[in-house]
Amino acid sequence: MSQPSSDGQRQPAIVILDFGSQYSELIARRVRETEVFSLVIGYSTTADELRRMAPKGIILSGGPSSVYADEAPLCDPAIWDLGIPVLGVCYGMQLMVQQLGGRVVAATGKAEYGKAPLVVDDPTALLTNVESGSTMWMSHGDSVEALPDGFVRLAHTANTPEAAIANQSRHLYGTQFHPEVVHSTGGMVMIRNFVYHICGCDPDWTTEAFIDEAVANVREQVGQKRVLLALSGGVDSSTLAFLLKKAIGDQLTCMFIDQGFMRKGEPEFLMEFFDRKFNIHVEYIHARERFIKKLDGITDPEEKRKIIGTEFIRVFEEESRRLGPFDYLAQGTLYPDVIESAGTNVDPKTGERVAVKIKSHHNVGGLPKDLRFKLVEPLRKLFKDEVRKVGRTLGLPEEIVSRHPFPGPGLAIRILGEVTEEKLDCLRDADLIVREEVNAAGLYHEIWQAFAVLLPVRSVGVMGDKRTYAWPIVLRCVSSEDGMTADWSRLPYGLMETISNRIVNEVKGVNRVVMDITSKPPGTIEWE
């Protein structure tokens, strides 16, 4: 059972050593689905550091490298002698083989990418209750040519003789495929086998347990001091508001800064809902003119994000002096926010991502160095679906819990190029139509996000026998479980037609509607 450490933070029962795989976070999420707490940490975390963390199990992620390459990322070889069960996935399995005396080579036959039927040779331990013929997701160009001493084959595919391996006496296991992806039909069975039966973990990562620990941690961190929360009305900040209200009561002050980039009608809804319906004190700050002036002439998306983020903090500082004093700033930062903001590598000491940055997030990227507040971020180790569960348990109404995610910089990053009042009005109207029609079609809760994007180009059209030169609107609708990966939603043609007709007929300045049919990866959900 994973217990809180001396600093009050729960220690992971399963740690994932990240070797740069796009699926590393997905492994953590799948483990959490078994109600066992897991975290992604750096591949160079030493055996001594792991011994101090005392996890029940270790999973080595996949990765884009070859284990025999000069610059291949390697784990501490002393890990194999810790006595802690290890599961190597794809690159992780090859690394296990290489470091323990086996041999990995570039595939001389066919590389395997995509679905492959698995033939189970040993239906015990890791592969208990995994049916032979189950589909597994492969993604590798290297193969295991020789197993280390003491290892045996558990399963194979047509192109991969050593698709799953084990040294059962040392509790070391490996799969050449990715059990964590949804395409692997027996993948969750294997993950449960590893987590429960091999590692002996208890299912204690529950919503109720998280709330109890988070409340205790917040009370310990904050004491009797006051906390200021940036409330947006989305599920993250709303759940955080309910959690903080439970933890510290009237020590919490929520501040809604109307920066002018919200969806249509949102400021009015937010004040009615929180301040008057649930008695959570919200200070309404009118700052539209201030923000729009800051973005005058700015077209670069990263610069827009940083300007908005910096100005947001500045407004907080000014208003906190008026309303305060406040010592703490609460933020609804989530685990994917931390991951995406930092990149694809991991600092082994902190577990935080470093190196290649995808984009700076409004909560964790670009904060000014002279930030006056200490941060309270009790949700930063949760995935979005876990936040929704917490919200429901805290009594947050479904109309908030199931709301589609909305970026902190708001519509400013859904307008490509320069942001103007005219474009904001245009996009607000178009976005409302998208959400109204998706909801009317009964598809709102089946879609992760549905929204409109305004492009900084104009195209020729004809309306009422007159030539027009107006903006196009992009319809972006995606399906996802946690926002880490996403696929474009296959909307009915009739719905797309209705949305298009309404936008073109009702929204001034638009004469064309197009649809984004890009998945994530390679694209991102937002355009900026």
Closest by CA to 175, choosing from 138, 133, 124, is 138
Determine the Cα–Cα distance for residues 222 and 220; give it in Å rounded to an integer. 6
Question: 3-class DSSP state for residue 201?
Answer: coil
Helix (H) or strand (E) holding 511: strand 510-515
Sequential DSSP letters for 406-454 = --TTGGGGTB-S---HHHHHHHHHHHHHHHHHHHHTT-GGG-SEEEEEE
Q: How far is CA 206 from the centre of its chain?
A: 19
Question: 3-class DSSP state for residue 179?
Answer: coil
- How many Cα atoms are found within 13 Å in the side-chain-facing hemisphere of 486? 24
Closest by CA to 330, choosing from 402, 222, 235, 233, is 222
Can you name the residues that pair with 59 across neighbouring β-strands?
Answer: 16, 87
Helix (H) or strand (E) holding 241: helix 235-248
For residue 215, count CB atoms less than 10 angstroms from its CB and return exposed for 0-12, middle for 13-18, buried for 19 or more: middle
Determine the Cα–Cα distance for residues 342 and 232; give it in Å rounded to an integer. 23
Active site residues: 90, 178, 180
How many other β-carbons are positioned within 10 Å of the β-carbon of residue 72?
Answer: 15
Question: 3-class DSSP state for residue 15?
Answer: strand
Q: Name the H helices within 301-420.
A: 301-323, 335-342, 384-394, 398-401
